[in-house]
Amino acid sequence: MEIILCGGGTELARAAADVIKSQLDKKPDSVIGFATGSTPLGMYKRLAELYKNGEIDFSRAVSFNLDEYYPIKSSDSRSYHKFMYDNLFRHININHSNIHIPDGETDDPERECAEYERKIEAAGEIDIQILGLGRNGHIGFNEPAPELYAKTHLTELSHDTIEANSRFFENESCVPRHALTMGMASILRAKRILLLASGAGKREAISSLLSPYVTTQSPVTMLKLRRGVTLVCDNKAYPGEYKNDGGDKRL
Ligand code: F6R
């Protein structure tokens, strides 16, 4: 695993955006897996800036988002549809017919999930999957459990996640209890993975990632089963010693 250790949010955003830029420079028709949440916001802002400066081109890119609350209307201000358009898609030149986000309005979640998997496969699989990290070690909405789903599925959010995400809603009771999420195999099949973590709240989950073990009780540890993972992490989330020598550090 490659680890890029950053001193703060701006560095993290730039380091992460650079990874996406070099992916698109190498393969302009890359299939990119996007994540929502607070952590990738700086990277999305930086990608929009790179686009504005003419330094990145999304015209041939294809996107698949990791997850969406269920049920939720795509027009709902808290939906991940709205999040992605507001924070990225409206600010770059991605072809809107190439955007895929699980449909939180479907009346047949099982069919929607099977269809989503089929579309990822038909697109030739994901070239680079961006991941945030739950403080409980979840990736996508694959929550700690004795068994994890392989493919895209309807899942119940853990209490920890409901509590963590209540900051986006009026209160905890308004957070949807379910979500449609890519499964562990859908994520692990990606050709490359870019995991982002910032803040002390993620330190325990990062410790489990850096431990010698793999456990379904911390789904992020399953990233150790493969190569091609880059962790971009700030000093607060990193459990080891961090020396600020003025730049990002490649461990
Ligand atoms: C979002 C997602 C989640 C978040 C995670 C961290 O699409 O799949 O796994 O990445 O909950 O969220 P933040 O970045 O808000 O701490």
Does the annotation mark 136 as catalytic? yes
Ligand 1 contacts CB of residue 126 (under 6 A): no
pLDDT for the residue 245: 52
| 3-class DSSP assignment, residue 2 | strand
C-alpha–C-alpha distance, residues 137 and 62, integer Å: 27
Per DSSP, 105 falls in state T
* Options 127, 138, 153, 234, the catalytic residue: 138
**CA 162 to centroid of ligand 1, rounded, Å:** 11
* Per-residue confidence (pLDDT) for residue 247, from 0 to 100: 46
Residue 95 annotated as catalytic: no
Check pocket membership of 35 for ligand 1, CB cut-off 6 A: yes
Does residue 202 line the site of ligand 1, with CB under 6 A? Answer: no
Q: What angle, rounded to 10 degrees, do the helices at 80-87 and 41-52 form? A: 40
**Residue among 67, 68, 103, 234 flagged as catalytic:** 67
pLDDT of residue 240: 81
Distance CA 50, CA 78 (A): 26
Q: Which residues pair with 142 in a beta bridge?
A: 139
Instruction: Confirm if 14 and 46 have CB atoms less than 8 A apart.
Output: yes
Tell me the C-alpha distance between 248 and 96, whole Å.
34
> Does any ligand 1 atom lie closer than 6 A to the CB of residue 39?
yes
Give the pTM. 0.95
Q: What is the mean pLDDT of each run of 10 residues along the chain (251 residues)?
A: 95 98 98 98 98 98 98 97 98 98 98 98 98 97 98 97 94 96 98 98 97 97 97 94 54 50
211 φ/ψ angles, rounded to the nearest 5 degrees? -75, 170
